[in-house]
């Protein structure tokens, strides 16, 4: 994961397509096209763990670069993504950030 990370405009990102950064480029390196937050595939998915520095790269970019809509993960230009939101909210819960977790409801 560390080798795939890229720094743009002072923030770290983990692209879903490390070779081309196609999805990150499509969002102008914003917070809508990222490596999935933990928990998307199953409850046993632990990469990266919620308090790992790489997990903060993912959630920080989402929070600071228009990756959230009303506390949920954005999809496209106006919708939300339930699967990504689950991983994001589960990560916030495991970090103990009740405010961000509850905002998703």
pLDDT tens for each residue of 3-54:
878 888 888 877 777 788 777 777 777 666 555 554 443 345 556 888 888 8
**Interatomic CA distance for residues 21 and 48, integer angstroms:** 19
Contact 57/91 with Cβ under 8 angstroms? no
For 64-98, what is each residue's pLDDT tens digit?
888 888 899 887 777 888 878 888 898 999 999 99
DSSP reduced 3-state for 9: coil
Exposed, middle or buried, 91 (CB in 10 Å: 0-12/13-18/19+)?
Answer: buried
Per domain, the residue ranges of the chain are 6-34+47-103
Cβ proximity of 62 and 43 under 8 Å: no
Torsions phi, psi of 57, nearest 5?
-60, -45
């Amino acid at each position: 994961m560390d080798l795939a990370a890229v720094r743009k405009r002072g923030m770290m990102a983990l692209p879903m397509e490390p070779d081309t950064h196609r999805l990150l480029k499509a969002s102008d390196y914003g917070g809508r096209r990222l490596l999935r937050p933990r928990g998307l595939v199953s409850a046993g998915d632990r990469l990266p763990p919620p308090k790992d520095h790489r997990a903060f790269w993912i959630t920080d970019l989402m929070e600071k670069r228009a990756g959230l809509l009303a506390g949920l993960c954005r999809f496209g230009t106006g919708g939300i993504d339930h699967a990504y939101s689950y991983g994001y909210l589960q990560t916030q819960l495991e970090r103990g950030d009740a405010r961000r977790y509850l905002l998703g409801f």
